[in-house]
Amino acid sequence: MSIIDTLSAGFGTVTKRLWVIIVPVALDVFLWLGPKLSVAPVIRDALATLQTTMRMMAPGGGLDAGMAETFQVMAEEIQATVGRTNLLALLAWGRLGMPSIAALRPVNPEVDRIIEVTSYGQMFGLQAAILLVGLLVACVFLAMLGQEVRGEGIRISTLLQSVPRYWLRLLLIVVPLGMALMFALSASLILGPLAFIVWALVLWVLLYLFFVPQAVTMAEESPLRALWSSFLVVRTSFWSALGLILLTNVIGSGLSLIWRNIMEIPSGTVIAIVGNAYVGSGLTAAAFIFYRDRVAMWREMQQQRSTDTHG
């Protein structure tokens, strides 16, 4: 199928089984109405420590007026962004195809029930725990879509048996990959003008590994086989895969701006959550269909070549 046909098939799959969006909807409702984990105290302490260090290192033991003003502006900007971030937003693994719009909502001290994180140890420990739980939630969602695209329908018993296995396999992939990407991006900071080479390499790797979630949760591949299968799908259908990935990201990013504006109006949050869950699920289902069809095509090509060789 063409890219447009694949997208249409993805949305058709979700429309026929509309209740598959229940997982992203439930996650967004929790992020919207549930308590918020705020790291504002940790950010304030970090900025205060940084300011003290800069003063000690500055000539004369103090910052000049220009530097002090620049630091104050920077501190206010960081506090207004990172300081108002809900740590529970890490539950949404968007890069694996788990749609979420409520994760983008900043913490509002006037209306939200806030639990403050007060130390670095708490922050890093909670980050790790939340990411692990979020990955499990994403596995449930991806496994449901995988069953639908395979044509099996949702089987709860199979789901309960397979999700822990998917979670472990994806964990064995994303942890080393995440560490490698963090090292690469950190190295790019010291490369100066050559940093674009590292960024290009990172984007290239992410492109070829785009279909790893589909390989794990639909084809039930092992970690190494999932990496290889995703690489083969992109290599054998490079321009189609690139087009699907770009179009998926453009649609998702463009609509997220619309959903965020809708969330500003009364009762708009419900509309945004349901709409984003539907569109995001359709885009993720399209990726499953693309992977399924391209793997089938590649296998047919291999069988044809084997037949021609033996013939």
- Residue pair 140/163 in contact (Cβ under 8 Å)? The answer is yes
- Estimate the share of the chain in helix, then strand, then coil, as percent rounded to the nearest 5: 80, 0, 15
Check residue 151 and give left, alpha or beta (phi > 0: left; psi -120 to 50: alpha).
left
pLDDT in tens, 144-195: 999 998 887 777 888 888 999 999 999 999 999 888 888 877 777 676 677 7
Contact 264, 237 (CB under 8 A): no
pLDDT band at 68 (very low <50, low <70, confident <90, very high): low
Residue 54: count of CB within 10 angstroms of its CB: 14
Q: Which two tokens stand for residue 182?
A: 């963090």
Helices and strands of the chain, counted as H and E runs: 11, 2
> Do 144 and 22 form a contact (C-beta atoms < 8 A)?
no
- Among 2-16, 96-110, 237-251, the minimum mean pLDDT is found in 96-110
Relative to beta strand 114-116, strand 36-38 is parallel
Determine the angle formed by the axes of helices 223-236 and 268-310, rounding to 10 degrees: 80
Mean per-residue pLDDT, 132-147: 94
Say if 64 falls within a structural domain: no
Which has more confidence, 186 or 33?
33
pLDDT of residue 311: 57
- 286: in domain: yes
The range of the structural domain enclosing residue 197 comes to: 3-39+85-303
* Predicted confidence band of residue 67 (pLDDT cuts 50, 70, 90): low
Is 211 inside a domain boundary?
A: yes
Distance from C-alpha of 247 to C-alpha of 14, rounded to nearest angstrom = 18
Q: Is residue 71 part of a domain?
A: no
pTM: 0.85
Q: Are 101 and 263 in contact (CB under 8 A)?
A: yes
d(CA 255, CA 9): 19
310 within domain boundaries: no
Number of structural domains in the chain: 1
Give residue 265's pLDDT: 83
User: Residue 166 domain-assigned?
Assistant: yes
> What's the rounded Cα separation, in Å, for the pair 261 and 196?
33
Q: Does 53 fall in a domain?
A: no
In a domain, 46, yes or no: no
pLDDT tens-digit map of 257-300? 899 889 888 788 899 999 999 999 999 999 999 999 998 888 77
**191 and 198 Cβ atoms separated by less than 8 Å:** yes
The whole-angstrom separation of Cα 114 and Cα 29 is 16
Predicted pLDDT at 128: 93
Which residue, 214, 219, 285, 295, is CA-closest to 12? 285
C-alpha 133/C-alpha 112 separation (Å) is 22
